[in-house]
Amino acid sequence: MCGSAHWRFARSSTSRPLSCDRDVRTFPDIQVGIHHTARTISVARVSSINRVTIYSMADIRNFSIIAHIDHGKSTLADRLIQHAGLVADRDFREQILDSMDIERERGITIKSQTCTLPYRGPDGHDYVLNLIDTPGHVDFSYEVSRALASCEGVLLLVDAAQGVQAQTLANLYAAMEHDLAIIPVINKIDLAAADIAGTKEEMRVELGIDPSEAILCSAKEGVGIDAIREAIVGRVPPPRGEPSKPLRALIFDASYDAYRGTVVSIRVIDGAVRPGDTIMTMSNGRTFKVEEVGIFQLRRVKRPALSAGEVGYLIANIKTVSDTRIGDTITHDECPASTALHGFKVAKPVVFSSIYPVSSDDYRPLVDAMEKYALNDASLIFEKDSSAALGQGFRCGFLGLLHLEIVQERLEREFDQSIIMTVPSVEYHFTLKDGTALVVDNPAHFPDPMDVATTHEPYIHATILMPERYLGVVMKLCLERRAEGTSFHYPTPGRIELACDMPLAEVLFDFYDRLKSVTQGYGSFDYDLTDYRPGRVVKVDILVNGERVDALSLIVHESQARERALHACERLAEEIPRHQFRIAIQGAIGGKIIARSTIKPFRKDVTAKCYGGDVTRKRKLLEKQKRGKLRMKMVGDVVIPQSAFVSVLKTKEE
Amino acid sequence: MKAREVPPDAGLYVHVPFCRTKCAYCGFCSQTDLSPIDAYAESLAVEARLRAGQTFTTLYVGGGTPTVLPPELLARLLRGPDTPWPLTKDAEVTVEANPDDITTPLLETLRKNGANRLSIGVQSFRDDELRFLGRRHTASQARAAIHLAKDAGFTNIGIDLMYGFRGQRRERWRTTLDEALRWRPAHLSCYQLTIEPNTPLSRRPPSLIRSPEAKEYDFFLFTSRLLTDHGYEHYEVSNFALPGFRARHNALYWHHAPYCGLGPAAHSFDGRTRSWNVRSVEEYVARLSRNAVPMEESETLTDEQLALERVMLGMRTARGVPLSALTRYAGWEVTLERLQAGGFLVCGQDRVTVTLAGLAIADRLPLEFLP
Ligand SMILES: Nc1nc2c(ncn2[C@@H]2O[C@H](COP(=O)(O)OP(=O)(O)OP(=O)(O)O)[C@@H](O)[C@H]2O)c(=O)[nH]1
Ligand code: SF4
Ligand SMILES: [Mg+2]
């Protein structure tokens, strides 16, 4: 299943075969021993208050804040930032590190953010704390894994009301694999529903953490912040590395700035880098002139140099994703390091979908946008694709459905692209009768059923954690989703963990939302890809007024073909606006129609009154509808809105 | 002496922003606090002075409820506050009147001061529906009002009706229509009930207020057929007239002709620029007390926007739009052919007219042509 012939990752210019083991590689170069002694180097530091101080590697602490989604990471980061005096009260806003519009609207962190905090310890000693706030949602776990590679410790937050959740565990394991110091923090103790004793017990049982080490905190009310800062200084070891050795810096993130080009986030392991240096990216031997280095303090703050142990940014004339990649090692061109650092495993996409411009004329701008976007989001993987209905576009791999949604939204908002995304799919493995192996993640490449000898589909091992009372409904849901080998386990009284194997394709079919709704939000879900198992799948085509729309085709399990096809037809009937004529939507396997729905024509669509005072308003509405039309695709006489293309996998809102 | 000039059609609108009580569906600019009426009347005089200049072929006094004004104010407003309004000799002068205000002396005042057309807000001849709408009058008051108006010599009477209430059946609607037809008014406006935002009706679920769309369409066709059978011309989405009695003032809006609106919230259009006054009576009065124009905002339309408005407005009328208005949109032939095949438009020599099915979806038609 590795390095499939069909799927080639656009970013793996190194042609490194795709590894499928999911464990994140450890990072021996920054493993930190307790008896480590850092050599003192002197660097001028311009703090936020424009004070120039001298500090040594021994005074640096690099840490990430990790937790399950919504457990309060960004809010804790706020408090740390405020206590460091980095932001004036009037400029402060909640979750200040969540700087993207989309993060603020959704109230979640999508991209890790770094911030350098000055800190004077109780003994009067000055430290530099490099904080990395990470996302909690499983779809962005690639962000977490890269942040961890730049740290020596983590704050592991647990919501006192929710207790240990799936990503608490997953992120803890990731931190342990990196051998990081772990500071457990129980957050939200101000909540009436906070159960500190229960949370401690869960930490002990489920995480294997000594609960006496946990710091009690209310990020919202600023309780426990001093204790946390003292713990960071006391329990997280300073970075280890050799300031005098040849430069080695790890690129762990990048972002695109319209004025400055690519801004890469680096963690310097050995040596130092300064503006004017000629650097080389070790994966491809390309050289760049460094224009600027500095640290992040809510904005970029220039610095004369970044040295061993430090986290910051670097601007060189790096233009596109082909110039560098995240995980690459930067060294000096003149005196290069002999070995590169371990990079990151390429993100392993599990959901695939194609992106097309709404108007085929916009393909070139989309290419540009994708290249820039890819710099911003290391977990997106893409290659060229084309469709009869939609023209030229890209086949993309995502880490999950939320990731897919975010990519779509960011391409539209930040890169001003008007795009259509096709029905998401997983990767299927076929063996043809002539012995050829075929990997297909795109219904367009579905083989002729007559030629197929065997079919395998990806399976996951799912664990669902929920209050006991939901067991019945969740079991039912899982069985509907072809779950196998179900087992239970009671981590704490009243809570139950259901484990089972399930085809990944079933997760795409709106599993999260269904689970959330049947457990009234109390169920949490986590999964690991396990293996490929035999499964008979068929391709369902969708015909709109008799015309096959290739971008709407879906691959489904034979036993569910009729039901899913009907569902797709019904959803499309809801999404496609009514026209003046009747529209037939049909689902077909081969030439055989297995499901249909119709969209009734509208008959009445006119406001009763239109007098002098109504004209402007009505015209503005028309102008708005006209813009909306740009987001629709004409297929024959039928206008299909963008949203219809992914809707076929969504269950109805209740 | 100069040769007699034929002035281009242009309308004058005067907005009276007062009502005794607010109807449940009302989204118009009107208030129930009647205390600033005098200040309003003074301000209107100032605005008329500030914006004098043009000759008008129609005058329309609307609201709100113009008939809440004391007779002498209403008279002044009809004649023109300081000097007579610059109206052409054959100008259409309409006043909106509420049945509960209509008395013989009032009608005399109106006639004496030049009103030659009356638009009566009957809405329904059924008391339960009138109550649902929060109207102030009863069905019998409506009947009496029409009777008085006819007696007073008004020949050009328009009656406003509403339909499409939830649960309303065709027979019920028909009783109202039949009764209206018995009076044989020159003009009938039949409005589908619309839920305006921020009105008492909007706070209830729409399904409890309006009939479903399929029924709306049915009512729309039914109304049109019944009234055209009785000799009315269905010349705009909601408007019907006996030959020769189309509402000249309102038609100006649909024909994209210029109009000047005085009073709070009134809109004006000079053929290129549209502007509108502040909505609040207080602000209106305050501005004019400083001799400042009470304009809230204005917009100057691009050629593209002018063209779009012409299509948008034209598609609401049976006479449609000149073919040349559509040819500017890429792919118009295909669209036109499709809409003609669907039975929505009819393409003649140089005009595209709108069928009944087309009027029913008039809001969609321009959108179909937009690329
Ligand atoms: N009562 C209370 N609420 C808190 C506390 N800390 C965070 N919250 C609230 O919890 C919600 C989530 O907080 P965030 O800081 O965005 O959580 P996060 O962990 O960064 O979330 P992701 O980045 O999306 O994983 C917000 O509504 C916060 O106001 C706390 O100590 N007490
Ligand atoms: S009379 Fe007319 S303007 Fe006054 S409240 Fe009723 S609907 Fe509104
Ligand atoms: Mg966050």
Report CA B210 to chain centroid distance, whole Å.
Answer: 21
Peptide bond into B64 cis (omega under 30): yes
In a domain, A356, yes or no: yes
How many whole angstroms separate alpha carbon A163 and alpha carbon A495?
Answer: 11
pLDDT for position A133: 97
In a domain, A15, yes or no: no
Asked if residue A612 and residue A596 are part of one domain, the reply reads yes
Reply yes or no on whether the pLDDT at B267 is more than 80: yes
In a domain, A176, yes or no: yes
A530 vs B281: which has the higher pLDDT: B281
pLDDT for position A323: 75
- The DSSP code for A405 is H
Asked if residue A433 and residue A378 are part of one domain, the reply reads no
The neighbouring-strand residues paired with A641 are A632
The neighbouring-strand residues paired with A430 are A438, A455
Q: For residue A34, which phi and psi values (nearest 5 degrees)?
A: -75, -30
- The DSSP code for B210 is B
Average pLDDT over residues B16-26: 94
| Ligand 2 pocket mutation, candidates B16, B19, B31, criterion most atoms within 8 A of CB | B19
Asked if residue A99 and residue A211 are part of one domain, the reply reads yes
> Is there an atom of ligand 2 within 6 Å of B119 CB?
no
Average pLDDT over residues B270-286: 96
Beta strand A419-421 with A351-357 is antiparallel
Nearest ligand to the C-alpha atom of residue A137? 1
From its phi and psi, is residue B190 left (phi > 0), alpha (psi between -120 and 50) or beta? beta
Residues contacting residue A526 through CB under 8 Å, at least 6 positions apart: A138, A166, A167, A169, A170, A462, A463, A464, A465
* Buried/exposed B57-77: b ≥16 CB within 10 Å, e otherwise: bbbbbbbbbbbbbeeebbbbb
> Is there an atom of ligand 1 within 6 Å of A186 CB?
no
Q: What's the total number of domains in chain A?
A: 5
* Total length of chain B: 371
CB within 8 Å: B274 and A629: no
Reply yes or no on whether the pLDDT at B161 is more than 80: yes
How many whole angstroms separate alpha carbon A97 and alpha carbon A299?
Answer: 10
How many whole angstroms separate alpha carbon A316 and alpha carbon A313?
Answer: 10
- The DSSP code for A651 is P
B370 vs A contacts (CB less than 8 Å): 622, 625-626, 629
In a domain, A29, yes or no: no
> Is there an atom of ligand 2 within 6 Å of B191 CB?
no
Q: Print the domain residue range for A413.
A: 351-421
How many whole angstroms separate alpha carbon A454 and alpha carbon A450?
Answer: 11
How many whole angstroms separate alpha carbon A259 and alpha carbon B105?
Answer: 75
Domain boundary among A235, A263, A283: A235
pLDDT for position A350: 82
For A317, A331, A400, B166, B170, the CA distances from A325, given in Å and listed in that order, are: 14, 14, 21, 63, 70
- What torsion do the CA atoms of A558, A564, A565, A571 make, to the nearest 10 degrees? -170
Query: How many whole angstroms from A193 Cα to the centroid of ligand 1?
Result: 15
Asked if residue A174 and residue A90 are part of one domain, the reply reads yes
Residue B133 in 3-state DSSP? helix
A100 vs B241: which has the higher pLDDT: B241
In a domain, A130, yes or no: yes
- Residues B62-98 pLDDT 10s: 989 999 999 999 999 999 998 999 999 999 999 999 9
CA-closest candidate to residue A648, choices A580, A579, A558, A555: A555
Beta strand B321-322 with A43-46 is unpaired
B2 vs A615: which has the higher pLDDT: A615
> Is there an atom of ligand 1 within 6 Å of A102 CB?
no
pLDDT for position A21: 34
Asked if residue A196 and residue A107 are part of one domain, the reply reads yes
How many whole angstroms separate alpha carbon B359 and alpha carbon A254?
Answer: 56
Asked if residue A630 and residue A510 are part of one domain, the reply reads no
**Number of A–B residue contacts, CB under 8 Å:** 100
Cβ atoms within 10 A of the Cβ of B101, count?
Answer: 18
* Total length of chain A: 654
pLDDT for position A5: 30
CB within 8 Å: B238 and A616: no
Asked if residue A215 and residue A151 are part of one domain, the reply reads yes
CB within 8 Å: B339 and A606: no
ipTM of the complex: 0.93
- Helix/strand/coil (H/E/C) assignment for every residue in A492-520: CCCEEEEEEEEEHHHHHCCHHHHHHHHCC
- Residues B32-67 pLDDT 10s: 999 999 999 999 999 999 987 789 999 999 989 999
In a domain, A26, yes or no: no
Q: What is the CATH number of the domain that holds A592?
A: 3.30.70.2570
Query: How many whole angstroms from B17 Cα to the centroid of ligand 2?
Result: 9
Asked if residue A547 and residue A531 are part of one domain, the reply reads no
pLDDT for position A272: 94
How many whole angstroms separate alpha carbon A630 and alpha carbon A420?
Answer: 11
Q: What is the CATH number of the domain that holds A84?
A: 3.40.50.300
Helix axes B139-151, B104-112, angle to 10 degrees: 40
> Is there an atom of ligand 2 within 6 Å of B65 CB?
yes
How many whole angstroms separate alpha carbon B4 and alpha carbon B7?
Answer: 9
Helices (H) and strands (E) in chain B, counts: 14, 15
How many whole angstroms separate alpha carbon A586 and alpha carbon A548?
Answer: 9
Q: What is the CATH number of the domain that holds A366?
A: 3.30.70.870
pLDDT for position A9: 29
Specify the pTM.
0.64
pLDDT for position B174: 95
In a domain, A503, yes or no: yes
Asked if residue A188 and residue A78 are part of one domain, the reply reads yes
pLDDT along chain A (654 residues), means of 10: 30 32 32 31 36 67 95 96 90 90 92 94 92 92 92 97 87 91 97 94 92 96 96 95 92 87 92 95 91 95 94 88 81 90 82 88 90 88 87 91 89 89 91 94 92 94 89 93 91 85 89 85 78 94 92 91 93 90 94 94 89 93 85 80 79 55
Residues contacting residue B205 through CB under 8 Å, at least 6 positions apart: none
- Helix/strand/coil (H/E/C) assignment for every residue in B255-277: CCCCEEEECCCCEEECCCEEEEE
Report whether A18 contacts A9 (CB < 8 A). yes
pLDDT for position B6: 55
A605 vs B contacts (CB less than 8 Å): 360-364
CA-closest candidate to residue B186, choices B158, B223, B146: B158
Q: What is the CATH number of the domain that holds A295?
A: 2.40.30.10
How many whole angstroms separate alpha carbon A80 and alpha carbon A222?
Answer: 9
| Ligand 2 pocket mutation, candidates B20, B29, B30, criterion most atoms within 8 A of CB | B30
How many whole angstroms separate alpha carbon A604 and alpha carbon B363?
Answer: 9
CA-closest candidate to residue A529, choices A428, A460, A441, A457: A460
Beta strand A329-332 with A278-281 is antiparallel
CB within 8 Å: B362 and A618: no
Rg (CA), chain B: 21
Report whether A122 contacts A418 (CB < 8 A). no
Question: How does DSSP assign B107-127, residue by residue?
Answer: HHHHHHTT--EEEEEEE-S-H
Q: How many angstroms separate the CA of residue B217 from the nearest CA in chain A?
A: 5
Q: What is the CATH number of the domain that holds A448?
A: 3.30.70.240
Asked which of A190-204, B5-19, B172-186 is least confident by mean pLDDT, the reply is B5-19
Asked if residue A432 and residue A414 are part of one domain, the reply reads no
How many whole angstroms separate alpha carbon A183 and alpha carbon B35?
Answer: 70
pLDDT for position A587: 96
Domain boundary among A421, A450, A469: A421
User: Which residue in A610, A612, A616 is closest to B299 by CB distance?
Assistant: A616
Domain boundary among A185, A220, A235: A235
Asked if residue A203 and residue A93 are part of one domain, the reply reads yes
pLDDT for position A55: 59
In a domain, A7, yes or no: no
pLDDT for position A632: 76
Asked if residue A224 and residue A92 are part of one domain, the reply reads yes
Q: How confident is the model at residue B4 (pLDDT cuts 50, 70, 90)?
A: very low
Q: Which residues surround ligand 3, an ion (CB under 5 A)?
A: A 73-74, 109
Query: How many whole angstroms from A77 Cα to the centroid of ligand 1?
Result: 10
Map tokens 């797709």 to a residue.
A568
